[in-house]
Amino acid sequence: MLELNMSFTALEDGREAERDPLPNPKSVRTPGVAGTRVFVGRDPSTCRPLLTPHDWLFVSRKHLVFEYSEDRGWTVEWPRGTRDTPVAIVRIKRGETSQDMPYGAILPLPARTSGSILVSDLARRRSVVLAWRAMQPIRPSDPAGIARGAGVDTTDVGPEQLRAKLHGVRLEVLAAMSCDWIHGRATKRPRTTDELCEMLYMAKATVERCKTELRRDFYSSELCPELNHLLGPDYLDTTPHVHGGWDLIAQTAVVCGIVGGEPCPCARRGGSID
């Protein structure tokens, strides 16, 4: 599966532009099915939901193509257009390695890695920022799967059903555990049960019960295949106090829109935990 999170930045005379508000960030999760293609660009007929502003002409109509094949896994292509020389700069970061992407190149996105792609105009004043993460593929029959050849929006039926199930206290605990993903920046989320109790003003037994139930709910939902791989095929038959997997759960919860729509619990303490 490939996760893509797209955002936009614009500078004016060295300062962040305040006029013409930028589009909201967009997120997509796409299963690794042979032949699947996801487009980024200005063409509304093929690039939704990863559509860039129509007047950002340094972005071509189909600027980037993400494609999955059985042989190569996920790749990203900057296809050549009618211009001999591009009017954009594309820089890709894969793991700890960062490089300019050649015009017309196809580069691999290895499984179980993450990074970002920056598409900028030549003056580097406007940029499209694509954060990506290549994960274990989801089969089309899975609840989070989609039809071949199309992208999937992160607010599909599966996450909505899980959110409805996780009402009340469990949703509060999940939001607190996802604090760093909600804010989209380096934020220290509560790591221990005691820290959660202090933030949420809950009893330790309540927090422990919620954590156990949340881990099992996400495991059963199949929204996060990497979590299922981490915990193993017999997890539901094992002792409830199994550690690990919270970063996967937190990222999945935010990307799928299960948490993040309401104020983060850290606001109760006057801001995020530093």
Q: What is residue 153's predicted lDDT score, i.e. its pLDDT?
A: 35
Q: Does residue 184 register a pLDDT over 60?
A: no
Minimum mean pLDDT range among 7-11, 16-20, 203-207, 265-269: 16-20
Whether residue 85 is found in the same domain as residue 168? no
Q: Report how far residue 175's alpha carbon sits from residue 272's, in angstroms, rounded to the nearest whole number.
A: 12
Q: What is residue 238's predicted lDDT score, i.e. its pLDDT?
A: 59
Q: Does residue 246 register a pLDDT over 70?
A: yes
Between 148 and 180, the more confident residue is 180
Domain-located, residue 142: no
Q: Which domain holds residue 33?
A: 2-134
Q: Are 209 and 191 in contact (CB under 8 A)?
A: no
Strand partners, 120: 89, 127
Q: Domain ends where: 134, 168, 195?
A: 134
Whether residue 125 is found in the same domain as residue 169? no
Structure tokens at 248: 């996967």
Q: What is residue 20's predicted lDDT score, i.e. its pLDDT?
A: 59
| pLDDT band per the 50, 70, 90 thresholds, residue 59 | very high
Q: What is residue 249's predicted lDDT score, i.e. its pLDDT?
A: 83
Domain-located, residue 250: yes
Domain-located, residue 145: no
Q: What is residue 227's predicted lDDT score, i.e. its pLDDT?
A: 73
Whether residue 125 is found in the same domain as residue 203? no
Q: Does residue 270 register a pLDDT over 70?
A: no
Whether residue 11 is found in the same domain as residue 129? yes
Domain-located, residue 224: yes
Give the sign of the dihedral formed by CA 227, CA 232, CA 235, CA 236: positive
Q: What is residue 142's predicted lDDT score, i.e. its pLDDT?
A: 42
Domain-located, residue 274: no
Whether residue 130 is found in the same domain as residue 161? no
Domain-located, residue 252: yes
Q: What is residue 52's predicted lDDT score, i.e. its pLDDT?
A: 92
Minimum mean pLDDT range among 25-29, 87-91, 163-167, 201-205: 163-167
Q: Domain ends where: 103, 134, 165?
A: 134
Tracing tokens 């954590």 back to the chain, one arrives at 211
137-177: pLDDT as tens digits = 444 444 444 333 343 333 333 677 777 777 788 888 888 88
Domain-located, residue 85: yes
Minimum mean pLDDT range among 85-94, 113-122, 228-237: 228-237
Q: Does residue 93 register a pLDDT over 80?
A: yes
Domain-located, residue 215: yes
Q: Report how far residue 131's alpha carbon sits from residue 92's, in angstroms, rounded to the nearest whole number.
A: 10
| pLDDT band per the 50, 70, 90 thresholds, residue 268 | low
Between 96 and 202, the more confident residue is 202
Q: What is residue 78's predicted lDDT score, i.e. its pLDDT?
A: 93
CATH number for the domain that contains residue 22 = 2.60.200
- What is the count of structural domains for the chain? 2
Q: Provide the residue type at 15 as one letter.
A: R
Minimum mean pLDDT range among 82-86, 102-106, 175-179, 255-259: 255-259
Q: What integer best gives the mean pLDDT of the chain?
A: 77
